[in-house]
Amino acid sequence: MNHRILGLHHITAISDNAKRNLHFYTHVLGLRLVKKTVNFDDPTTYHFYFGDEQGTPGTIITFFPWEGIGRGKNGAGMATHTAYSIPKSSFTFWKERLEQQGLPVKEDKIFGEDILSFSDPDGLQLQFIASDSDTRTPWTTTQITNNEAIKGFHSVTLTLRAVDATAKILTDVLGYSLTRQDGNRYRFTTDAIDTAHIVDVIEDPAASYGTNAAGTNHHIAFRVENDDILMDYREKVLAAGLNITPKIDRDYFFSLYFREPGGVLFELATDNPGFTRDESLENLGTALKLPKQYANMRERIERALPPL
């Protein structure tokens, strides 16, 4: 049993339009819709999960598409960039594909790695990072083959006014290590796993605080193997002087939530029970699945949800 944080579990963001969000992540980026359900606190809003074939932790981006919410503003106290790993040979493919969608693409390097930076239709800041060492098997489509397909997360970047207090949580509580620094960018990694294992922090004391709405991150989730380890980490977070929720059943994983000192909402999430608990592997994402508290409201919820 691995009692360590196993990198990123999932990343959750906000979008404005459900149909557009679904099209972009499945048809343009070629991810699989792993689960179509609703927000636990607002059942008239979808909750989409996109990832690889089975929704492996470390590949899952999820969205709350609140219709008409309008654009948010990235800033301090947020996870401002979500980075995916892609094959090095696919760099030109993705640059051309994104530009064909009318999306501005910027080429850059971070810590010597080639990067494509762009934003989704809601303004969520995404990055593709070229790698030949990522051996994960991606989900493929008729247009996006194994030679181009997204492998899963490479990293997530937090923008904070000050790094020290957050660094202490990442290292002393979550088991990450500071491995690189370039100016005001700090890279934290865990050697418990070799994918989706990087958290970058940009320290910007002058940054204005962000506003949560479409195109911004809601929270990032770190991965643990099971419930027992989850609750061990709850004690560690409490011992660090932070407030943390009780264990919450999210149907496909169990979760704890706490806000780290820089303002970013962190989640700890388990591998179990997984996305096949209520759908077969081949049918993942094909039916609307409702949390049990809304099971007797299906007809009303289906009428209220926006058409896809």
Residue 75 neighbours by CB under 8 Å, 6+ apart = 159, 207, 208, 209, 210, 211
pLDDT of residue 2: 76
Amino acid at 220: I
How many C-beta atoms lie closer than 10 Å to residue 74's C-beta? 23
Cα-only R_g, the chain: 18
From the list 76, 70, 127, the residue with the least C-alpha distance to 98 is 127
d(CA 228, CA 71): 39
Question: What's the pTM value of the predicted model, to 2 decimals?
Answer: 0.97
Coil, strand or helix at 90: helix
pLDDT of residue 267: 98
Fold of the domain built from segment(s) 8-304:
2,3-Dihydroxybiphenyl 1,2-Dioxygenase; domain 1 (3.10.180)
For the chain, the structural domain boundaries read 8-304
From the list 29, 57, 50, 55, the residue with the least C-alpha distance to 141 is 29
What is the per-residue pLDDT across 202-216, written as a single tens digit (0 to 9) for each? Answer: 999 999 999 999 999
What is the per-residue pLDDT across 61-107, written as a single tens digit (0 to 9) for each? Answer: 999 999 999 999 999 999 999 999 999 999 999 999 999 999 999 99
Residues of the chain with pLDDT below 70 are: 1
Residue 106 neighbours by CB under 8 Å, 6+ apart = 116, 117, 118
Task: Name the average pLDDT for the chain.
Answer: 97
pLDDT of residue 7: 98
pLDDT of residue 132: 86
